[in-house]
Amino acid sequence: MVKLTEEMKAVFSKLKIFPVATSSKGGVPNVVPIANVQLLGDDTLWIGDNYMVKSAANVRENPHCALYIYDPDVKRCFQIKGKVEVKTSGPEYDKMRTMIKAKNEKYPAKALWVVKITDVFECTPGATAGKKVL
């Protein structure tokens, strides 16, 4: 099991918008800015789907995604990859829906992506850029 380090969680905690990348089964990429991203423990992310169309279609074909996290103050960045399970009902979905609706009732809160982290790569420029760190 891959668990984020304290440094990675600190970088994650500074972000308000997360670039989330997906790919179709045929390899066509898509990246979108997502605000509804939560870190649950050290190994799981929740992503709330309000308006994703291409990303949602991609995940149905290819249940994987990647996020890029960056802290401009300390110049640290990581790429997080994971396997996605989409939920549209149940207690986890209900909890995410409540959090999204608390921000603004107009958000549709269509689905919850439960992302189990599988890999983390170094993105900071230098000799270790691109290296798998977890």
| pLDDT tens-digit readout, 51-98 | 999 999 999 999 999 999 999 898 899 999 999 999 999 999 999 999
Which residue, chain included where needed, has tokens 């670039």?
Answer: 19
* Rounded Cα distance, 112 and 116, in Å: 13
Residue 93 and residue 53 in contact, taking contact as beta carbons nearer than 8 Å: no
Q: What tokens does 20 get?
A: 């989330």
Domain boundaries, the chain: 6-122
Which residue, chain included where needed, has tokens 């929740």?
Answer: 46
| pLDDT tens-digit readout, 3-35 | 999 999 999 999 999 999 999 999 999 999 999
Question: What confidence tier does 47 reach under pLDDT thresholds 50, 70, 90?
Answer: very high
Predicted model pTM: 0.94
Residue-level pLDDT at 1: 73
Q: What tokens does 45 get?
A: 């992310």
When the candidates are 2.30.110.10, 2.40.50.180, 1.10.10.10, 2.30.30.110, the CATH number that belongs to 6-122 is 2.30.110.10
Question: What confidence tier does 41 reach under pLDDT thresholds 50, 70, 90?
Answer: confident
